[in-house]
Amino acid sequence: MHLRISLFRFIILIFLSTAAYAQTPSIIEASVNKHKITTGEIFTYTLKIEGEFLSPKLTIPKFDNFTIASQGQQRQYTSKGNRTTLTIKITYHLFAPNPGSFTIEGANVADKNKRIEAKPIAIEVTGKPLKEKIKVAPHIERGIDI
């Protein structure tokens, strides 16, 4: 009986120590500040990656149908005990030169034997194509009816 209790305690101890040293789950989240825009209107696409990584490989979307106006990146390392968590925040300021319904594909991170992926995001763009707006802009600024 005593051997059974000792074996049970040993198994519980192994389980608890394994759980204590397990990696925190990694996340990747994509978001936008607007889902409906007009042509030429700038919106923000933010990608947040967080977790414990050994040698991560990030694949970002191609932003087809959008133009990148600017980009920024922040990195933060947080250490607790023998764990280091990496948080990366990448921000893109984008605009669409043409109207339509578009999807920004999901970004993903591959690291060792795991792969995590952000969900795709749909964007609805209304208005005239940007080329037409640029042609009309000088007439509007001068106050000429067209």
CATH code, 47? 2.60.40.10
Residue 108 lies in a domain: yes
Q: How far apart are CA 1 and CA 8, in angstroms?
A: 11
Residue 6 lies in a domain: no
Residue 10 lies in a domain: no
Q: How far apart are CA 120 and CA 143, in angstroms?
A: 42
Q: Which two tokens stand for residue 39?
A: 């042509």
Q: How far apart are CA 55 and CA 73, in angstroms?
A: 18
Spacing of C-alpha 27 from chain mean position = 9
How many distinct structural domains can be found in the chain?
A: 1
Residue 104 lies in a domain: yes
Q: Which two tokens stand for residue 6?
A: 């000792």
pLDDT at 16: 44
Residue 112 lies in a domain: yes
pLDDT at 119: 95
Of 8-17, 50-59, 135-144, give the lowest mean pLDDT range.
8-17
- Give percent above pLDDT 90 in the chain: 50
Report pLDDT digits (tens) over 81-104: 888 888 999 999 999 999 999 999
* Rounded to 5°, angle at Cα 138 from 64 and 143: 135
Report pLDDT digits (tens) over 23-55: 556 889 999 999 999 999 999 999 999 988 888
Residue 7 lies in a domain: no
Residue 69 lies in a domain: yes
Residue 59 lies in a domain: yes
Residues pairing with 83 in the sheet: 80
Residue 122 pLDDT exceeds 50 = yes
Nearest C-alpha neighbor of 104 from the set 58, 49, 45, 48: 45
Domain that holds residue 50: 24-127
